[in-house]
Amino acid sequence: MDGKVFSKNYLTAIKGVVGFVIHSKSSDFYRKQYKVLSPSILGISSYDGFRNLPFLTKKTITDTSVYKRLYAPEDDIIIFTATSGTTGAPLVNARYWFDHPRVNEMVKKYGVKKAMLLLNPSAGMFSGTIYTSREKLTLCVGDVNMLQIAAQIIKEVEVNAIITTSTIIYHLNKELTKINFDKSKIKYLSIGAELTTRQYFDYIQAEFPSAYITYAFGATENSGALGYQCAKIIATGEPNIYHFKKEIFVEILDEEGRPVKMGEMGEIVITSLEKKAFPLIRYRTGDYASEIKEKCACGNERTFRLEGRANHDVLRVNGATLMTRLIENSLDDVRNYLEPGFQVIVQDVRVKNTIKTQLTLRVVPRAECGLSEPALTEAIRKAFLENLQVSGNKRLKELVEPGYFLEPKVELCKEWGQEGTKSIHIIDLRAKN
Ligand SMILES: [Zn+2]
């Protein structure tokens, strides 16, 4: 982050939010966090000064009850949202205002009349869509764990928009196909909440050819959307490129908490520029992104490439970095043989007196992929081994040859099970100690 840009665009709003939480009568959560720094905390006058504020982590938040970190009158709270809880205790958050401009866009620009909301009901995006001004939009809600029924409702109600995740739309599409639903009736798809791989992106476009498709990036910790795609980004056809909403200040930081260089990948740390029920200040999201140097023609000055969740999309192993995006790229040559989706299992294996890392790639071959065994497995294994970029310009092969990794294995699965609303691409089974 350039100090001048910070002072010009963000300093006033940040001072406002920090002042708001420091002087709050309803909660002393941030005063406790910042006690080592007070009273100089209000003297933030530069990016370096702002960087003295300690980070906020998920654990710090979940260790405090939601009522003890409420910066709004309890009577004004409309709904509580919660993270999925798949990585520990759910983070419960309060919400007292709503703004979901996309809903209006859906209605006015794309003529949507009936939309299905197919998300985890405790998710911020779910409540954000329900509690919003929605002129002439009728919502119906589907259960993410009962997609066969959701598909039947879509057909019966004649839904023409779906708000969901890329994992769910993949599984839902199979159910819609089974009941011969005319997918050209879907005019609008809002896909969010997880990294969308290129395979899913292309799949969704091919399966819903009449739909205007937008991708949102959110975090329930922040009670809803963080990132959006402007029309210019949508026109590039790139998944995972976002602007952040103007109410959010974004830092991209390395493991030591220092800003990375422009274009390098780091953790997304967000600060809310609004005085919300619980404003996040320097919150470590556990998501990775890099900032794109080129300015977007829409006028938003900052554009980011989302790389996904720490440990599930970006995992450091033996000095190498496994990334969902690069794993997917490595399979380009064999992509026509495969259903969208993959998993890489990372395990430690004892070999004589040493421990070596073994990667197992799980994929689902297409029903009539045109290649039989063992040629299919071998083609996939070769692509993965020779094309997977793991550190700098090094390929997996170059780390297998000197013995840092064992030869990778390939497992062909029959189909993907649906567990939850999101896909985990990298599964780390190494002993933790
Ligand atoms: Zn833009």
Class of domain 1-309: alpha beta
pLDDT tens, residue by residue, 84-94: 766 667 788 88
pLDDT at residue 433, rounded to an integer: 45
- Ligand 1 centre distance from Cα of residue 74 (Å): 37
Q: How far is the CA of 108 from the centre of ligand 1 (A)?
A: 21
Going by their DSSP bridges, the two strands 343-351 and 354-363 should be labelled as antiparallel
Per-residue pLDDT at 144 exceeds 80: yes
CA of 122 to the centre of ligand 1 (A): 30
Which amino acid is present at 239?
Answer: P
pLDDT at position 87, please? 63
- The pLDDT, as a whole number, for residue 39 is 56
Q: Partners of 244 in the beta sheet?
A: 227
pLDDT tier for residue 36 given thresholds of 50, 70 and 90: low
Q: How far is the CA of 245 from the centre of ligand 1 (A)?
A: 11
- Dihedral over Cα of 45, 51, 57, 63: its sign: negative
Give the distance (Å) from ligand 1 centre to CA of residue 33: 35
* 40 CA distance to ligand 1 middle (Å): 37
DSSP string across 346-413: EEEEEETTEEEEEEEEEE-B-TT-S--TTHHHHHHHHHHHHH-EEETTEEHHHHHTTTSBPPPEEEE-
Distance from residue 302's CA to the centre of ligand 1 (Å): 8
Which two three-digit tokens encode residue 327? 């794993």
Band (pLDDT 50/70/90 cuts) for residue 283 is very high
Q: pLDDT band at 76, cuts 50/70/90?
A: confident
Give 322 Cα–ligand 1 centroid separation in angstroms: 29
CA–centroid distance, residue 157 to ligand 1 (Å): 35
Per 3-state DSSP, what percentage of the chain is helix, strand, and coil (rounded to 5)?
30, 25, 40
**What spacing in Å lies between the alpha carbon of 296 and ligand 1's midpoint?**
5
Q: How confident is the model at residue 407 (pLDDT cuts 50, 70, 90)?
A: very high
Q: Determine the distance separating the centroid of ligand 1 and the alpha carbon of 224, expressed in angstroms.
A: 20
Distance 303 CA to ligand 1 centre (A): 7
Q: How far is the CA of 222 from the centre of ligand 1 (A)?
A: 22
Read off the pLDDT of residues 356-389 as tens digits, 9 standing for 90 and up: 889 999 999 988 878 888 999 999 999 999 999 9
Burial class of residue 54 in the structure, from the number of CB atoms within 10 Å of its CB (0-12 exposed, 13-18 middle, 19+ buried): middle
Distance between Cα 318 and ligand 1 center (Å): 37
Q: Which of 79, 64, 6, 59 has its CA nearest to residue 30?
A: 64
Looking at residues 200-207, what average pLDDT do you find? 89
Q: How far, in Å, from the CA of 266 to the mean position of ligand 1? A: 21
**What is the Cα–Cα distance from 306 to 228, expressed in whole angstroms?**
11
- What are 252-281's pLDDT values in tens digits? 999 899 999 999 999 999 999 988 889 999
Cα angle vertex 263, ends 257, 266, to 5°? 30
Q: How far is the CA of 299 from the centre of ligand 1 (A)?
A: 6
* Alpha carbon of 241 to ligand 1 centroid (Å): 9
Helices 166-178 and 147-157 sit at what angle, rounded to 10 degrees? Answer: 70
Distance CA 391, CA 159 (A): 45
| pLDDT interval class at 154 (50, 70, 90) | very high
pLDDT exceeds 90 at position 312? no
Are 234 and 205 in contact, with CB atoms under 8 Å apart? Answer: no
Tokens of 188: 């609008």
For 343-356, how does the pLDDT look when each residue is reduced to its tens digit (9 = 90+)?
999 999 888 888 88
Distance (angstroms) between ligand 1 centre and the Cα of 263 equals 17
DSSP string covering 94-141:
EE-----HHHHHHHHHH---EEEE-S-TTSHHHHHHHSS--TT-EEEE
Cα 235 to averaged position of ligand 1 atoms, centre (Å): 10
Residue 217 reports pLDDT greater than 90: no
Give the CATH superfamily of 314-428. Answer: ANL, C-terminal domain (3.30.300.30)
Instruction: Check if 1-309 and 314-428 are the same fold.
Output: no
Ligand 1 centroid to 287 CA: how many Å? 21
Distance of CA 114 to the CA centre of its chain: 26
pLDDT for residue 57: 92
- Mean pLDDT estimate for the chain: 87
- Distance (angstroms) between ligand 1 centre and the Cα of 214 equals 13
Q: Is 259 helix (H, G, I), strand (E, B) or coil?
A: strand
Integer Cα distance of 213 and 16 in angstroms:
36
Give the start-to-end residue ranges of the domains of the chain: 1-309, 314-428
What are the tokens at 315? Answer: 């995992």
